Amino acid sequence: MELFIQQLVSGVSIGAIYALLAVGYALVYSVYNFTNWAFDAFMAFGAFMAFVGISSLFMPFWLAMILSILLTILLSVGAESMAYRPLRERKAPRLFMMISAMGVNLAVVNIINLIFGGTFRKFPVESVQPIFVGNVSIGRMDLIAGLISFGVLALLWLFLYRTRWGLGIRASAIDIQTAALMGINNNAVAIIIFVITGVLSAIAGVFYGIKYAVYPMMGIVTIKAMIASIVGGLGSLPAAIVGSMLLGVLETLVSGYISSSYRDLFSFLFLIVILLFFPNGLMGKNVDEKL
């Protein structure tokens, strides 16, 4: 029982990181109907910027986190302005935007690899003693990652459902052309969305780097976020969070009771089984009900 609780706590922690990435995927998809394959590059970039801030600029953790978020926002908005917007304004097929996103991803990851090399780096944070609840240990950084992740997701929910710009984003998710005719600035909506994805990817990258390691290809884990989005119901933010929690717990239980080498296998099997019985995901919605 103690092992189960231990794995459950760890699963919620990694699920919270997946949720940040899955929500970013769902947010872009819900409005623009394309998958932002550059998201993993943003995640790796954010992790490396925080790493540099702590190891080279000798910043405290919180300041390095802010630096990472700001620089990742600039990268995310820059990618939207230079790689996506020209295609969107020319009404190019969504497939072209996905190809453009792949190009951004390859460019950023290879630049990171060129500058920093491909070695694995331990994130430069001090190790702290875990919190013990009975015989169950809870890593302090896992707890911090979970709390910050859920806090950010709660703030995002408030922004989307309690602000005027959030209303504009939700209207654009239903019909972006009609929203534009009603006076909503599509370019402003795009900038806001990619600012949000920059924040989400930077935070996820930093905490994933702390939990595992920092390396140029670390963003490949965003495929798990895509699985979580599809399992929950692509295009729905609450569904992305639910899918992320389920996937995170499943992976840690497989690692604890079977073997970590089978973790990815069970993740993809989980996706296949869900789609067999729920083709639109567990909380799949109609196109007119996204977000």
Taking only the tens of pLDDT, the chain with its 291 residues reads 666 777 787 888 889 889 998 888 888 888 888 888 888 899 999 999 999 999 999 999 999 999 999 999 999 999 999 999 998 888 888 888 889 999 999 999 999 999 999 889 998 877 666 777 777 777 777 788 888 888 999 999 999 999 999 999 988 888 888 888 888 898 899 999 999 999 999 999 999 998 889 999 998 888 888 888 888 887 678 888 889 999 999 998 888 888 888 888 999 999 999 989 888 888 765 544 556
Confidence (pLDDT) at 203: 94
Confidence (pLDDT) at 70: 97
Find where tokens 């993993």 sit.
40
Q: On the CB side of 68, how many CA atoms lie within 13 Å of its CA? A: 30
| Paired residues of 121 in beta bridges | 214
Q: Supply the range of the domain harboring residue 65.
A: 2-289
CATH of the domain at 151: 1.10.3470
What is the count of structural domains for the chain?
Answer: 1
Whole-number Å distance between alpha carbons of 204 and 198: 10
pTM of the model: 0.88
Element (H, E) at 133: strand 131-133
Confidence (pLDDT) at 109: 94
Confidence (pLDDT) at 273: 92
Whole-number Å distance between alpha carbons of 18 and 40: 12
Element (H, E) at 137: strand 136-138
**∠186-98-110 over CA atoms, to 5°?**
115
Confidence (pLDDT) at 235: 67
- Report the candidate in 288, 191, 282, 209 with the shortest Cα–Cα distance to residue 241: 282
Paired tokens of 156 = 């995002």
Paired tokens of 240 = 């992305």
Confidence (pLDDT) at 284: 66
Confidence (pLDDT) at 131: 75
Paired tokens of 288 = 């007119």
Neighbours of 2 (CB within 10 A): 10
Q: Count Cβ atoms within 10 A of the Cβ of residue 245 and give its class: 0-12 exposed, 13-18 middle, 19 or more buried.
A: buried
